[in-house]
Amino acid sequence: MVVENDSERLLAYRRGIIEMLFVEGNHFCMFCEKSGECELQALAYRFGITAPKYPYLFPRREVDASHPDIFIDHNRCILCARCVRASRDLDGKHVFGFVGRGPEKKIAVNAEADLAGTNADAADRAMEICPVGALMRKRVGYAVPIGQRTYDHEPIGSDIEAKRASADT
């Protein structure tokens, strides 16, 4: 079996998808505390996306800061479902789920009203797996300064590609 991955055609599709992820949310890297640790930002850098060719949608999205230790910023959510799976499979809690369809689809919490009504905890595995700045812990922002973060040092995917480099030598 032959798998095609690093081809011009696939790269063009991927760039388009990454651009769509940017324009359908509100991703302002310059004042996002996830900058440098964000997989979406890192992918854009890796694939050379400086500005999307699609128009920004500027959707109105909510921020749920009701919980004392964590918050959800729906502006930055790319609907990857990592928190849904991590809360269910790793934490055994079912804190997160999806509601709505199409452009209305969003992460919902397992409570009457908001995150404060759930049994989510800052120590949950679900809190550390968000690829963007949508699900964040409070009071730890900028603990690592901008410029000293994971993707400030090397492009996303470098850790994986390093395995091959060491195998080749």
Partner 1 sequence: MSETITFTIDGVEVQGRPGQTIIQAADEAGVYIPGSAIRRTSSRTGRAGCARCW
Residues that bind partner 1 (CB under 8 A): 1-6, 10, 13-14, 17-18, 21, 39-40, 43, 46-47, 78-82, 85-86, 89-90, 129, 131, 156-157, 160-167
Residue with Cβ nearer partner 1 (18 or 116):
18
CA-to-CA distance for 145 and 140, rounded, in angstroms?
11
CB 94, min distance to partner 1, A: 13
Q: What angle, rounded to 10 degrees, do the helices at 39-46 and 8-23 form?
A: 140
Which residues contact residue 9 at a Cβ distance below 8 angstroms, ignoring those fewer than 6 apart?
A: none
**163: exposed, middle or buried (Cβ count in 10 Å: 0-12, 13-18, 19+):** exposed
Report which residue type is found at 153: H
Residue with Cβ nearer partner 1 (39 or 73):
39
CA-to-CA distance for 44 and 33, rounded, in angstroms?
17
CB 142, min distance to partner 1, A: 23
CB 135, min distance to partner 1, A: 13
Residue with Cβ nearer partner 1 (11 or 146):
11
Residue with Cβ nearer partner 1 (32 or 40):
40
Residue with Cβ nearer partner 1 (45 or 71):
45
CB 128, min distance to partner 1, A: 9
CB 1, min distance to partner 1, A: 4
Distance of CA 42 to the CA centre of its chain: 10
Q: Would you call 60 helix, strand, or coil by DSSP?
A: coil
